[in-house]
Amino acid sequence: MAIFSKGAETMGDLYTSDAKIYPPGGDTISGNTAIGEFWKGAYGMGIKAAKLDTVEAEPAGDQIVEVGNYTLYGDGNAELDKGKYIVVWKQDGEAWKLHRDIWNTSMPGQ
């Protein structure tokens, strides 16, 4: 569950080259190019913005494990989905990037 506010075009750049995401309703997606395409597709399906609230971010060795809550918004700020995520961040040169990214909805019946 990444940061739409930075724009769908550059989403893949936020991930390590060997990153993996685990989208609900689909298989694991590997590599920041494929991940960038996935987010472009999600953005094309009507997601306009995402709010991400970090609940905890614990440094562990050379990585940070972040747990948080997300809310997705569509046109007119309509709430499309909300849920929670775990992201494992890794340092890539000087930049921290998303390395593992899993999330699920908190909405019942989905």
Q: For residue 29, what is the enclosing H or E element?
A: strand 29-30
71 in contact with its own copies (CB under 8 A): no
Contact between 106 and its own copies by CB under 8 A: the answer reads yes
Give me the torsion for CA of 81, 83, 88, 94, rounded to 10°: 50
As a whole number of angstroms, the distance between CA 99 and CA 64 comes to: 10
Binding of its own copies by 52 (CB under 8 A): no
**Judged by CB under 8 A, does residue 54 bind its own copies?**
no
Q: Which of 67, 79, 91, 95 binds its own copies (CB under 8 A)?
A: 67
Site for its own copies contains 93 (CB under 8 A): no
State the DSSP H helix or E strand holding residue 97, giving kind and residue range, or none if neither. strand 95-105
- Rounded to a whole number of angstroms, the minimum distance from the CB of residue 46 to its own copies is 17
Q: How many residues bind its own copies (CB under 8 A)?
A: 31
* Interatomic CA distance for residues 11 and 56, integer angstroms: 22
Which two structure tokens, joined as six digits, stand for 41?
A: 């597709």
29 near its own copies, rule: CB under 8 A? no
Q: What residues make contact with its own copies under the rule CB under 8 A?
A: 20, 22-28, 58-63, 65, 67, 83-86, 88, 100, 102-110
